[in-house]
Amino acid sequence: MEHPQPLDRVARIQADWRRERPDLDTSPQGVIGRLHRLAGRLTEELCRVYGHYDLSEGEFDVLCALRRAGEPYERAPGELAAHTMVTTGAMTKRIDRLERAGLVTRRRSDDDQRGRIVALTGPGRELIDEAFTDHMRNERDLLNLLTPAEAGTLEALLTTWLSRLEEPRPPRPE
């Protein structure tokens, strides 16, 4: 005999809304609500690894963007902002902290004396190589909660959904 699955937090919220607002279709919460909760839990798990290296999520992103650039492991601050999807103001704060920690340096651009270049230092490269290795191990452990087939299906679905969401869409009629 099959046992019914216990209601998770999202299912309980949906049940409450069905009782209070039976006129509304709350089925989207089943997906969106769970994805939102999952994203929060995944962020917590990922940040534990960053914290082990005394890095915030944003600082980890900056170091990764520099490391991915390849030798000589440098980018302009505007490029870093684009590669990490944050404002240049937020980027400046991250770079300041990483520079104080000796993980990056800043110098004037050879091409444009007004421009700046941010580069990984030797210790910065060593740290991000170690931190990224642990990060990938952590992501593998998290993904191993699914079977390989489930993970493949989920990746395909998320890829499709994200590409459609990121496509320019016509404005909603008023």
pLDDT digits (tens, 9 = 90+) for 57-82: 999 999 999 999 999 999 998 889 88
pLDDT band at 48 (very low <50, low <70, confident <90, very high): very high
CA neighbor of 72 nearest in space, from 140, 112, 122, 33: 122
Cα(80)–Cα(89) distance, integer angstroms: 12
46 and 135 Cβ atoms separated by less than 8 Å? yes
* Start-to-end CA span in the chain (Å): 52
pTM exceeds cut of 0.75? yes
Secondary structure letter of residue 94 according to DSSP = H
The model's pLDDT over 97-152, given as tens digits with 9 standing for 90+, comes to: 999 999 999 998 776 656 789 999 999 999 999 999 999 999 999 999 999 999 99
For the chain, domain boundaries = 55-147
Question: Shortest CA distance to 103 belongs to which of 139, 45, 138, 56?
Answer: 56
Give CA–CA dist 23/98, Å, rounded: 52
**Rounded (5°) CA angle 40-63-95:** 95
Q: What is the pLDDT of residue 105?
A: 97
Cα Rg of the chain, angstroms: 21
Q: Does domain 55-147 have CATH number 1.10.10.10?
A: yes
